[in-house]
A and B are shown apart, each in its own frame.
Chain A
């Protein structure tokens, strides 16, 4: 079902845990749907110096979380925002079609952590420049995420 790369990240997930004094926190998913992801980041001069994840979910959910932390570490926030569901799936050598939507939330979690970092530093202008107002709006409303029509919760 999964590629060797997915299984490798599942077996040895990178950057598991939670940064206690994080500069940004992003949470996506819904345990009701079987996936919940929390990403914490440490940012120095707009560069992600550390990143950790915690995930409740299937093999794909854990593997995508792991690889997102690996891809994002050391990138500027602008670079990190280019990480998409698609690029995560590609980096893992592909995901089963039914997993593309439900379990591939890590990139969204990272985006939220970045928005949270900017929000905490009162950089709403920067959020707008990066086209993240919608994401911010959702976060303020406490909306989980767009989980797809497959999950009825």
Chain B
């Protein structure tokens, strides 16, 4: 088996699991309870908060735990927008954000907000000049991802953060894809809110968080008993949060070395894949996450490629229409200016801690064969070859 789908799901680090177990068996108190068992659970939450803040290099704010990155993006955008609608109703985002950002923006649009989606260049880099030009008197929020989950392109968030700070606009960064892969530093990015995901750094699923800088006001989107300082009600997922914290602590120590290792494997894969004829790299050649390979193979469709690789024990991913309910090709690839059929033929390989040189060899042993088989089946290939 060779797994190249870390962006969709990561294994949980053994050390994380070990740290979580006591919080499912022994420390069973509710963090809101006044007794000592409750206190133990509460201090575990605070410890986790501290570890996550350290990972993102700041002391100037809070971590609000959520059910994951999707909820954190919802809270950051809908929560911030609704709380600050009196100050203005214009929001700036990009055309390649995650659907949880895009659909949160749409919720605000239905509530009278105006959202500008800044286009990207062919490599998926947000056009900062256009972003700057689109700022209005009533712009209250800029939300741009740190790196793209599909094509791995790293955005100039520091530059954008500086612009936002200068204009007094709150800046939200979705760091789901970048955390644990490259340096995520809240203060250097001038980020006022950052979306964080646990599973993407080998923590458990079902946990995420939103960093909120001091002074930034957000309205909760889940209400109830007022947990998480009122920002997010519902009894805290203590074992999950403990796991997230430990994952952050491990990441802080180990990610640099690991990123270097993965980058080498990534470059090796890209180099060998591009040797297959009519194969192209999607995304930026250099400003790219160390674990991301997104490639398009002309004349064939992504899903059939994923299924064919699956039969050989290789797990990859497609953002192509056929895997989604909407049947539309990836909005990210379309925003980069790809044609529909190019977007349909794109494949995503994401690497992780357990990816080895052997996995890469196995992939590259199988892939050219599978591509050839599907191309032979494709009417487009024949047509092209025949002139």
A residues adjacent to B (C-beta < 8 A): 7, 10-11, 13, 16, 18, 27, 31-38, 54-62, 98-99, 102-103, 150-153
B327 and A56 within 8 A (CB): no
The answer to whether A102 and B301 have CB atoms under 8 Å apart is no
- Give the interface size bracket for B toward A: 20 to 34
Q: Knowing A57-B304, A98-B325 touch, does A31 contact B377 (C-beta < 8 A)? A: no
Is B379 in contact with A99, judged by CB distance below 8 angstroms? no
Which residues of chain A are near B340, meaning CB under 8 Å?
31-34, 153
Indicate whether B149 reaches chain A with its CB closer than 8 angstroms.
no
List residues of chain B with CB under 8 Å of any chain A CB.
Answer: 299-304, 307, 311, 320-322, 325-329, 339-341, 344, 376-380, 382
Contact partner of B377 among A11, A54, A153, CB < 8 A?
Answer: A54
Bound Cα distance from A119 to B378, whole angstroms: 26
Name the distance in Å between B305's Cβ and chain A's nearest Cβ.
10
Residues of B within 8 A of A35 (CB): 301
Q: Is the interface of B mostly helix, strand, loop or mixed?
A: helix
Q: Is the pair A150, B379 in contact by a Cβ cutoff of 8 Å?
A: no
How far apart are the CA atoms of A11 and B312 in the complex, in Å? 11
User: Are the CB atoms of A11 and B311 closer together than 8 Å?
Assistant: yes
Do A55 and B327 touch across chains, with their CB atoms under 8 A apart?
A: no
**B303 and A59 form a contact (CB under 8 A):** yes
Most A-side CB within 10 Å, residue of B300, B302, B377: B377
Q: How far is the CA of A134 from the CA of B6 in the complex (A)?
A: 49
- Residues of the A chain whose Cβ atoms lie less than 8 Å from the Cβ of B327: 33-34, 98, 102, 150-151
Roughly how many angstroms separate A93 CA and B380 CA in the complex, as a whole number? 29
Alpha-carbon distance between A13 and B308 when the two chains are bound, in angstroms: 12
Set B303, B339, B377: member contacting A55, Cβ < 8 A: B377
Pairwise interchain contact B378-A55, C-beta atoms closer than 8 A? yes
Chosen A-B contacts, 23 in total, with CB atoms closer than 8 Å, are A7-B307, A16-B376, A31-B344, A31-B380, A32-B340, A33-B327, A33-B340, A34-B321, A34-B341, A36-B378, A37-B379, A38-B379, A54-B378, A56-B301, A56-B379, A57-B322, A58-B303, A58-B320, A61-B301, A102-B327, A150-B327, A151-B321, A153-B340
Q: How far is the CA of A11 from the CA of B308 in the complex (A)?
A: 8
Separation of A54 and B304 alpha carbons in the complex (Å): 14
A102 touches B322 (CB 8 A): yes
Q: Distance (Å) between the CB of A144 and the closest chain B CB?
A: 13
Could you say which residues of chain B place their CB within 8 Å of the CB of A57?
301, 304, 322
- Given A13-B377, A18-B382, A153-B340, verify A58-B304 contact (CB < 8 Å): yes
**Nearest A residue (CB) for B303:** A58
Least CB distance, B200 to chain A, in whole angstroms: 24
* Residues of the B chain whose Cβ atoms lie less than 8 Å from the Cβ of A58: 301-304, 320, 322
Given A102-B322, A103-B322, A152-B328, decide whether A36 and B380 contact each other with a Cβ distance below 8 A. yes
Q: CA separation between A54 and B382, bound complex, in Å?
A: 9
Interface pair B311/A34, CB less than 8 Å apart: no
CA distance A7 to B299 in the complex (A): 21
Q: Looking across the interface, which residue of chain A has its beta carbon closest to that of B339?
A: A32
**Would B379 and A55 count as touching, CB distance under 8 A?**
yes
Q: How far is the CA of A55 from the CA of B380 in the complex (A)?
A: 8
Min CB–CB distance B175 → chain A (angstroms)? 31
Which A residues lie within 8 Å of B378 (CB)?
36, 54-56
- Tell me whether A34 and B377 are in contact in the complex, defined as CB-CB below 8 angstroms, given that A58-B303, A58-B322 are known contacts: no
Min distance, Cβ B312 to any Cβ of chain A, angstroms = 11
Nearest neighbor of B380 in chain A, beta-carbon distance: A56
- In the complex, are the beta carbons of B379 and A34 less than 8 A apart? no
Nearest CB in chain A: distance from B381 CB, A: 8
Give A60's nearest chain B residue, CB to CB.
B322
CA distance A10 to B311 in the complex (A): 10
Q: Which residues of B contact A152 (CB under 8 A)?
A: 328
Residues in A with CB closer than 8 Å to B326 are: 150
- In the bound complex, CA of A7 to CA of B376 (Å): 19
Closest 3 CB pairs of A and B: A58-B322, A58-B303, A54-B379
Q: How far is the CA of A101 from the CA of B171 in the complex (A)?
A: 42
Given contacts A38-B379, A55-B378, A57-B304, 9 further A-B contacts (CB under 8 A): A13-B377, A31-B340, A32-B339, A34-B344, A56-B379, A58-B302, A98-B327, A103-B322, A153-B340
In the assembled complex, how far is the CB of residue A22 from the closest CB belonging to chain B, in whole angstroms? 13
Complex contacts, B301 vs chain A, CB 8 Å: 34-35, 56-58, 61
A61 to B301, CA, bound (A): 10
- Docked complex Cα distance between A136 and B92 (Å): 50
Residues of chain A with a CB closer than 8 A to B304's CB: 10, 57-59, 61-62
Closest to A18 in B: B382
In the complex, chain A residues whose CB is within 8 Å of the CB of B303: 58-59
What CA separation (Å) do A8 and B379 show in the bound complex?
Answer: 21
Residues of the B chain whose Cβ atoms lie less than 8 Å from the Cβ of A32:
339-341
Task: Return the chain B residue nearest A101 by Cβ.
Answer: B327
Inside 8 A of B341's CB, which chain A residues have their CB? 31-32, 34
